[in-house]
Structure formats: structure tokens, C-alpha cells
Amino acid sequence: MSETERGQATGAIRKADVLIIGGGLSGTMLAVQLLRLPGARQILLIEPRAELGRGEAYSAVELGHTLNGNAARMSVDPDNADDLTHWLTEYIAAGGWPESDRQHVPVSELFPPRGIFGLYAQQRLAQARAGSASTVEHIRAEVVDVQVEPAGVRLTLDDGQQLHGAQAVLATGMFPAARTPQTQSSGLNAAAVDPWDVHAMTQLDPQSTVLIIGSGLTMVDAVVSLEQAGHRGPIEIFSRHGLLPHVRRQPPAWVDFLAEDHSLRSPLQLLREVRRQCQSALAQGIDWQAPLDTVRAHIGRLWSQASERQKRQFVRHVRPWWESHHHRSPPLSAELVARLHEEGRLRIQAASFQGLEPTVNGEVTLRLRRRGEQHTTHVSGAALINSSGIEYDWRRVARPLPRQLLARGLIKPGPLALGIAADASGAVLDEQGVVSERLFAMGPPLRGMWWESTAVTDVALQAKALASTLTLLQKWICV
């Protein structure tokens, strides 16, 4: 009988130094950083999936579902930007991913499949474990309740087991809208096909019309899934602004103009200067993506110093264009979308989703309001895919953990209800705004704090900083 099974049988509460809630990329990278620090500590990583390091984003098995950043941009090691490039070079040389030849670029410019990236994260965890005096154990379960006590944090799991730690970290990752039960559900997900479920798509009539809500990167994945499933019929895409992600290219270096000019503070000032820099680049025959890519490193600072009004203005008026220009599509996926658009099989329309009509003759019917029109129209298809992105408002996520944290007052919504509120170190704020000494968060839950808090580089930097914070606190907190 394992230690976990003995604990369940006796009803004993297992104890650890750090409890990490979520074993996707965020939780795994935090574990790696804790393992690398001096000292010996016990870490319990609670994740219902069979494998660590993958989470929602990197559990994809289709080679066509790739990262939207090239290898040089996706290192999980904040101290070595070439870490993924080196790992991928060795992986390909050993016979892995023979299809990489299709991209005809150096390894640093490859866009690896997300499943292979998940393997990379797992191997980095294995290496950290091998060289550490600390231990990490995977508890395969879902956390359904959290209680903060004077001596630490108590977790209750869906199998009834309880865990106790000096500190706990919410590393829950993202809640994809397509897979997230919502407290105010329209029935959309119940009627929709999962964007990444190629097998389910093979059951569709190959010539049938498929409707897609949302036009971001999840939509791009959905189109790739349809193509791999053998679908050859029309694809109708609807989103509020009708914008498609731009293709990610590899532009030359551009001067970091925000590092040189700290007078740019408001979103409006930033937008004007970015436009000016992009126009300057184009006038010199340089890709407009070059100056835009320099903005990435400053987003956290700019967002945190913006007023509530400025943030709302950005989300309402600038966000759609920011998303389509910044969160760009990998080249092969973009080529597919462009080809289907040119063939007339794929159409993108600016329209907002108003609801579902009762299913008739096996078809799905949507109520839509096209942009600029007051009346609603009806559109039918053989299948529907919800590609509306990520649900960041924890009040709308109908899962036990977010509900219990809110009910107990242990968290409060972050700015603009994006994720949850925390201080600069990741210490969670309760409903009264009190900073916790026991409960922390990292990655996507901090979207409202930093705006961009989901990319691999964001997660890697946060993991390193939070590991140091937790270790320092352990010296002062008596468990």
C-alpha cells in the first residue's frame, strides 16, 4: 500500500511544506524552481491528470496543434532563453518529431507541437528531481476546498483526503471556455464539439457546414482539428469584431523604445507610440512585428500603473486588436486558415452570439446579431464549436475550487474581474483586501494583475520569483 493509500485508509492528514494546486505548466515550473533551491522541503503537487507538466494546454496529441511561439521564445528556464532550442535539437537528433523538416527553418525558429512541449516540461521536472534534496509527489486528485488556518493551509480533495501545508499555491492554469462549466450557462458547451477533439469531428458529414464562435487562436486549433478529421465542407466563423490572428513571423531586432521613454504611461499614449513605431518600421522596409514585439516585456508595468478607467478603455476598445496582433498564429496553421479562406470554404463574419435555438433535424441553430445591425438573424449548421477563448472570471466558473474559495472569502476577483487579486509577490488578497501569508497564486489566475500572465516566459519568471518568496517565508513562519 502506498503512502497516499495509507493516508486515505487511516483518515490521517498528510503534511508538506508546500502544496501546489495544479500540475500543469505553472505548477510544474514552480516545483522545478523549488527543487533547484538549497535545502530540503516536501512538495505535494495536486493534479487530477495522470501526467504532470501538460495541463490543458499541452495535453494535445495532434502534431498540428503547435505552440504559437517558436522555440527561441518558449524556454521554461528564465535563466536560459535557449533551453528549449537545445532540448529540441537533441530530441530531433534522437529521432523525435521527424515532421519538423516540413517547417524548413533552424531549430530555434521551429513551432513545436504542444504535446512535445509537454514532454519537454516533464523532462525538466525529472532532471530537477534527480539533483535535489527536496521531494515532489504527485497527488492525483482534484482540490475541492481550501481552508486557511493559523498554522497553514488545509486542502480537501475530491476523494475525501486532506492535506496540510505551510503554504499553498493556486497554480490552476487556464479555464478554457470550451471546457468550462459556467454558472450562467447558455447551453453552448453542451451543444458544441470540443475544438481539440479530432475523433469527434470524424463523426461529422465531411461536406457539412460547421459553425465556430470566436476567431482567436482556439479557432485556429479548431480549423486544424477539422482538417485532420477530413472535413471538407464550409466553415462559418463568427466573432464580435471579425478579426483573425496575424501569422507570427521572425522580424529583426528593434530598439526597445519603451525602455528609453518612461513618459509613456497610459494605454492611449502606448497605442499612439506603437503605431508610430510600426509605421517607422514599414517605411524602412522592416516588418511591423519588430517594434510590436518589444512591447511584451513592459506590459506588466504599463498595466499595473494604469488607472481602472484606462484599463476598462483598453479592454473595451483596444483588446480585440491587441489580441489579433500580439497573440499570433503559428505559420503552418495560419497557412491552412488562409488557404481555406481563399478557397471560399472558410468565412469570417463580425457578429455577436445571442443564443441557441432548439435543435431541428440534427442541426444547430444560432441567434446572432451582425455588427451594425439591430435585429438578430439565425444561422444553422451540422455542428458547432465554441472557440471563445479563456474564461478568466472565476465567478463564472462552476467548479468546486473557485466556488469554495469565493464562498469562504479567501479570494476576490482581480481587476476587471480578470482572475483573482494578489500583491506583487503573488500573495492572494481575501475579500477584505487582506494579504495572505499562506495562500499564493501564479500564472493565468493573475491575468488581472499583469494583463499578460499566461505565456511560457511569464510563467517561468513568476515560478522563479515565487519559489524564492516561499522559501524566505518558510524561515519566518513557524508551522
pLDDT (0 to 100) of residue 4: 46
Average pLDDT over residues 344-353: 95
pLDDT-based confidence at residue 183 (cuts at 50, 70, 90): low
Q: Specify whether 462 is located in the same domain as 412.
A: yes
Q: Specify whether 262 is located in the same domain as 241.
A: no
290 is a domain residue? yes
Residues 6+ apart with CB under 8 A from 233: 205, 206, 207, 208, 209, 210, 345, 382
Q: Specify whether 17 is located in the same domain as 164.
A: yes
pLDDT (0 to 100) of residue 267: 75
Q: Specify whether 27 is located in the same domain as 160.
A: yes
Sign of the torsion angle spanned by Cα atoms 168, 73, 340, 342: positive
pLDDT (0 to 100) of residue 278: 96
Q: Specify whether 238 is located in the same domain as 363.
A: yes
Where among 371, 386, 401 does a domain terminate? Answer: 386
Q: Specify whether 290 is located in the same domain as 439.
A: no
**The domain spanning residue 169 has which CATH number?**
3.50.50.60
- Give tens-digit pLDDT for 226-258: 999 999 999 999 999 999 999 999 899 999 999
Closest CA to 389 of 170, 195, 172, 199: 195
The amino acid present at 474, given as its one-letter code, is Q
Residues 6+ apart with CB under 8 A from 231: 201, 204, 206, 208, 210
Average pLDDT over residues 342-352: 95
pLDDT-based confidence at residue 305 (cuts at 50, 70, 90): confident
Name which residue leads in pLDDT, 368 or 177: 368
pLDDT (0 to 100) of residue 186: 62
How far, in Å, CA of 73 to CA of 195, rounded?
A: 25
| Mean pLDDT of the chain, nearest integer | 91
Where among 353, 371, 386 does a domain terminate? Answer: 386
Q: What is the number of domains present in the chain?
A: 3
Query: 180 pLDDT exceeds 80?
Result: no
Q: Specify whether 458 is located in the same domain as 399.
A: yes
Helix count (H) and strand count (E) of the chain?
Answer: 17, 14
pLDDT (0 to 100) of residue 3: 44
Q: Specify whether 24 is located in the same domain as 164.
A: yes
Q: Specify whether 193 is located in the same domain as 240.
A: yes
- Element at 353 (helix H, strand E): strand 346-360
409 is a domain residue? yes
Q: Specify whether 18 is located in the same domain as 140.
A: yes
Sign of the torsion angle spanned by Cα atoms 195, 197, 198, 200: negative
Cell of 360: 431541428
Average pLDDT over residues 145-151: 94
pLDDT-based confidence at residue 387 (cuts at 50, 70, 90): very high
Query: 11 pLDDT exceeds 70?
Result: no
152 is a domain residue? yes
412 is a domain residue? yes
70 is a domain residue? no
Residues 6+ apart with CB under 8 A from 189: 177, 178, 179, 180, 181, 182, 386
71 is a domain residue? no
pLDDT (0 to 100) of residue 334: 95
98 is a domain residue? no
Q: Specify whether 308 is located in the same domain as 167.
A: no
Average pLDDT over residues 146-161: 95
Range of lowest pLDDT (210-219, 390-399, 402-411)? 390-399
Where among 326, 350, 367 does a domain terminate? Answer: 326
How far, in Å, CA of 78 to CA of 81, rounded?
A: 7
168 is a domain residue? yes
Query: 348 pLDDT exceeds 80?
Result: yes
Domain span at 166:
3-65+113-175+392-476
Q: Specify whether 202 is located in the same domain as 145.
A: no
Query: 158 pLDDT exceeds 80?
Result: yes
